[in-house]
A and B are shown apart, each in its own frame.
Chain A
Amino acid sequence: MALNQRGQAALTDALYFLLIVSALSTLLFFFAANYGQVVEQRVVNQYWREYATGALETILYSSTPRIPNESLEDATEIDYLLAAVKEDYADDGEIDETEEVLVQTISGIMQPFAANFDYVFYIYLSDEKEFAFVMIHTREDPKFYEDSKDKVKPGKSKVLFCEPKTLNDLEAMVESVGLSAQSSSRLQLVEVDSSDRTAYPVAQANLTMWVPTPIAMFIDGTSDGTLPGLNCKEYNPETYASSKGSGEPCKTCSTNT
């Protein structure tokens, strides 16, 4: 190469060097920006799971007065919520008298997370393939206002009682919400039939929580029948007592579990 081109050659070499370093730096930058995202997600997910497990255990450990309107401090008789639920189910094969106290306990325990999470709690009888209790905490879709100062208003949270036909209908909803934390526990319920024979069906209590995601199509179902809907009714604490007729002492209150 001619000596008068020596400077140009060095410049070309330097530009190549710059090109290689730029490429390496870009790679390094992207690697640094994405570093730890998987670990971070796992740490967060672990925390959600810890919360879900703790919440489920706390729900099952909690006490309840056997006469609904009494406070725990002044209650004539106190029982574990789980024992009361079992007794209620044994009575008529439904969780109806303890339904409200169960909802209030679950809502109270999930309250610290409820602003940022939706959840479902259910008791499923795996042998009989039916639900004893399903409660979904979700929220309405956010509303958008053009004229208002606050253009987006978050949707109001609501509690639903549901009666899905199959476990698959509920699982389809849980699978659609993306990342979720789940905890489940095995229970043994009691069933007494008309001829006083006692059975002990195995049930699964499950609590699943997720970051709020629109699930209205799963709750309402689709018109073409691909999603059958979950047969839900909204829980309203003000009208619940009159609609359910609870508030009276339960008829099995005087007996011990």
Chain B
Amino acid sequence: MGVGDMRRGFAEGNFPKAFFPGFLEKSWQKVPRFARLGKKGFLGPIGDDLPSLIPLLFALMLFFYVFTFTWNAFDQKGQLFDDALAAMRVGNTLKGNNYMRNYEAFDQRCREAHSVKRVKFLAGLIPLKTGPGQEFSGVDVEELREDFQELEGNKFECSNVDLKEDSPSLQSDSLVIRSFPVALEFKNPDPKKNTFYVRPMLLVVVTWR
């Protein structure tokens, strides 16, 4: 059988035996082309596929739901990392080598910390008590400013926002709190002594959006 014969056979609906086993050939010959078009149950090209649209639409809905969920999860976690890293950056800039000589050193580092732009922040020093039976009372975000150390009229406080207009609260968006121990140098209150001592302090950094 040549290629031309095969083509003719296909066109006429007759398939050569060499290509199909007997039962397929029989069933093909039994059902003439378009024989069922006018019979009951055929709803047309779209109507016939209508039941298949239900799983199709369900699959699409499922896919887009999961895609949106994934997108949001990426976005949310990316923002969480950004906020955590920004708080760490503010903390690292402010604490420097964990030793603060005076308020000027703190103020200098505070100006450097203003380079962190993505988040709003409030930071400051809280005294750490080291005596016997002294308990750390914790950090209250909303009353934080009252706990900040004051020394010679200067409050160890640093922020990149106007705190009269905006201050952190527990309802703030993306609130991150980080604390770092630092050593702060104090001049002896007695000017005759001309000595200093170093006390442990807690640098508290709060960031929000």
* Known pairs A51-B180, A111-B128; A22 contacts B133 (CB<8 A): no
Compute how far the CA of A13 lies from the CA of B184 in the bound complex, rounded to whole angstroms.
72
Establish whether residues A7 and B48, one from each chain, have CB atoms under 8 Å apart when the complex forms. yes
**Count of A-B residue pairs with CB < 8 Å:** 164
Closest residue of chain B to A4 (Cβ to Cβ) is: B36
Could you tell me the dominant secondary structure of chain B's interface residues? mixed
Q: Count A-side interface residues using an 8 Å CB cutoff.
A: 53
Compute how far the CA of A105 lies from the CA of B128 in the bound complex, rounded to whole angstroms.
9
Establish whether residues B52 and A10, one from each chain, have CB atoms under 8 Å apart when the complex forms. yes
What chain B residues lie within 8 Å of A28 (beta carbons)? 66-67, 70
Stretch at the interface among A34-42, A135-143, A186-194: A34-42
Could you tell me the dominant secondary structure of chain A's interface residues? helix
Q: Count B-side interface residues using an 8 Å CB cutoff.
A: 69
Q: Encode A1-22 as 1/0 by CB contact (under 8 A) with B.
A: 0111011001101110110011
Interface residues of B in 24-75 (CB under 8 A from A): 31, 34-37, 39, 41-42, 48-56, 58-60, 62-63, 65-67, 69-70, 73-74
Q: Encode A194-235 as 1/0 by CB contact (under 8 A) with B.
A: 000000000000000000000000000000000000000000
Establish whether residues A4 and B91, one from each chain, have CB atoms under 8 Å apart when the complex forms. no
What are 23 of the A-B contact pairs (CB < 8 Å)?
A3-B37, A10-B51, A11-B52, A13-B52, A14-B59, A18-B59, A25-B63, A29-B70, A32-B66, A32-B70, A32-B73, A36-B78, A43-B85, A51-B181, A54-B180, A57-B98, A57-B183, A58-B182, A63-B199, A73-B197, A105-B130, A109-B130, A111-B135
